[in-house]
Amino acid sequence: MKKILVTTDLSINSKTALRFAIQLASQTPCELFFYHVDSAYIIDPFAGAAFVDIPVADTKIQQKELVKFVNTLYRQTGKIPGKINFIVENRLDISRAVIECAVKVKADYICIGTRGGGLINKLLGSHASRILSESPVPIFVVPRHYRVKPLKSILYPSDAENFSHEINLIKKFGALFDAGISVYHYDYFTNEQQIKNKLHAIEHKFQSDKISFNFKKLSPDKSLFRSLQIDIISTKPSIVAMFAKEDRTWFEQLLQSVKTAEKGFDTRTPMLVYRKE
């Protein structure tokens, strides 16, 4: 049984991450850990100010609020809770708290929601961006405008490097809900024989009734970002699985050639972000 740490600040925007996790758990055995961090009553020891009569945070009250919040979503989605847990902590560093909790409960994934709208750096916010950069486990990133539906398909944009390792991780995840996997590779030089031979060798080795390949030639007037966005919108996958390098966050890689005036990423499709080895 896979374990998923599902983060929430009990706001409307965080509901989409919970709905996504609830839907996934309804399709495959997953143990969900609903996690809320409250930093409202935590005093920064380096603030250089004195505080008196500060009330002590009552985690029991917060726990009740979290349970009520989650149970309401279960009723709204019509899903029956499986194995679920509730964790509340008062911590100053929210990003670090999420990562440490994931390690503590031995989570296989972390699930976070976005704020929605605008450019990617605005879309995610500072906490989500840091979690993406530092998490030792894969991250589900669920857009604000996600609508619950059965998970059936995965779109995997690949750079064709370390492909065997990466596709095996995608296959393991896809097997949880019997998903089809569409591999997309974008390159300016797909017609060059050496690159063509490499891509065809990968396709020949890994193509199956569950895995298909799409090799796309990039044009100078259309960025990788835009090409991928068009394919996501046209194929409507249940989730996009991506791999991020350790030294750069995934959205920095994706948007490195995109002008800051360009609109943000597709706002309805969840992402699964792995750390690239």
Residue 209's pLDDT is: 95
pLDDT at 126: 52
CA distances from 55 to 42, 43, 52, 66, 89 (A): 10, 11, 9, 20, 16
- Extract the tokens encoding 103: 């390690």
Residue 122 pLDDT: 39
pTM of the model: 0.83
Burial 216-227 (b: 16+ CB within 10 A, else e): bebeeeebbbeb
pLDDT tens for the chain, residues 1 to 277: 799 999 998 988 889 999 999 999 999 989 999 999 886 654 444 444 444 444 555 678 889 999 999 999 999 999 999 999 999 998 878 889 999 999 999 999 999 987 643 333 333 445 566 777 788 899 998 888 888 999 999 999 998 989 999 999 999 999 999 999 999 999 888 778 888 999 999 999 999 999 999 999 888 887 777 888 889 989 999 999 988 775 544 445 444 433 333 344 456 889 998 987 7
What type of residue is 269?
T
β-pairing verdict for 139-142 and 109-113: parallel
Return the pLDDT at 246: 56
Sign for the CA dihedral angle at 18, 21, 277, 218 comes to negative
CA distance 30 to 237: 21
CA atoms of 173 and 179, how far apart (whole Å):
9
Cβ-defined contacts of 45-51 (< 8 Å, 24+): none
| 2-7: strand order across its sheet | 84-90, 30-38, 2-7, 109-113, 139-142, 271-275, 239-244, 153-157, 180-187, 211-217
Do 167 and 175 contact (CB within 8 A), yes or no?
A: no
For residues 154 and 134, what is the distance between their CA atoms, to the nearest angstrom?
24
Strand partners, 7: 35
